[in-house]
Structure 1
Amino acid sequence: MATRILFLGVAALVIIVAGADQSPLQDFCVANPSNGVFVNGFACKDPRMVQANDFYFGGLHLAGNVSNPVGSKVTPVTVAQLPGLNTLGISLARVDYAPWGINPPHTHPRATEILTVIEGTLEVGFITSNPDNRLITKVLSKGDAFVFPMGLIHYQRNVGYSNVVAIAALNSQNPGVITIANAVFGSNPDIPTDLLAKAFQVDKSIAGQIQSKF
């Protein structure tokens, strides 16, 4: 019985640790991308060389350029933009949306996201996993927040006639993003067209036509 309890405790601990970035073991570990050592994250900059700017990012007050096919722009603040985030398990992003612009269906493989609307009206939604594939959606106004569980496909759409600004926070220094359409139809090399046609239950020519756009 004691062995079983110990096993379950260890299993629970593994699940908790695997659920987000690991906790740091020191005050900070400012990322040093130029270091050739491969670790899960980035090697640390010499603490004696660390400066205030290693923990600083400026520019989130600036609107993103939304003149693109989807009508949105994500300005990320991950460890790639702010080296001081290394090992701290957090990041954020500003998202700008043109009227009726979208942030296309995507996932963050390493993070849960909470999004707050700063200006405008935004439709948000996520899809539960198989077999239900249930769409959970809501329209948010200024000051509202919504959470997208880790790994689930989600999207946002501006449903108003003015620009929308939102701030997203994520519990990973490098949450990653997989945009579904780009990944499936724009992979390198291409996924075979006949496979896509069978997966989406469409004619092969239609699958090829969509693939050609990516």
Structure 2
Amino acid sequence: MAVPESTTEPTSEASDLALTGSKRDAAEIEPRRVLGPVIQKKTGNNARRYRAALKPISDKEIFPVAPTDTPLTIVSEGLDVYIKRPGIHLYEETKGNDMAARLLLSEILILEQISKSPHPHIVRYYGCRAIRGLITGIVLERLEQTLLEYVTKPSFLQLDKVEFFKALESAVEHLHGLGLAYNDINPQNIMLEEDFRTSKKHGTYDLEKVRE
């Protein structure tokens, strides 16, 4: 598993961020990141082998450096939100480079663009979390469940499917109007609000031209 090299927790004074156009974030204690092999039985000697396999990784391999030339929205704790973290489960495939960090920063920049033209059926982006000058997560609206989870429930039969797909189509058209394409529309990336009447797109955004 993976843990950032820096293990000293920040103080309030040390964690103030000087980002162009952003809010100054209060101290934030992030969970340590560890990466190691999966061991099926973690008892006795196996548990000791599992702990011995853990090794630290560089912060900058998984957390992007907050850019100084692009204003980002930095938010602190206290919100009931969903925090999307870097995909460190891919670390074994990407170790030695900053691919995970670059992917996270790319998604944040696109979400910043979308947030300037919000849509009621696209998950709300609040901003990102940062500590010691590194971006550690994306702060998103928390929603109850995915469409994949909802279809297994009896209440799914009462869902107004015509309105549901109208909402989904509206969200996709909005992204296209911004010059963006969502390349992974599937039931796991469609979230439903608590009343189960509206759909919201959620996941990774890829920036590309809709048409040449």
- For the superposition of Structure 1 and Structure 2, which TM-score range results when normalised by the shorter chain? under 0.3
Structure with greater proportional helix content: 2
TM-score, normalisation: structure 2: 0.26
TM-score normalised per structure 1: 0.26
Higher strand share: 1
Instruction: Give 1 or 2 for the bigger CA radius of gyration.
Output: 1
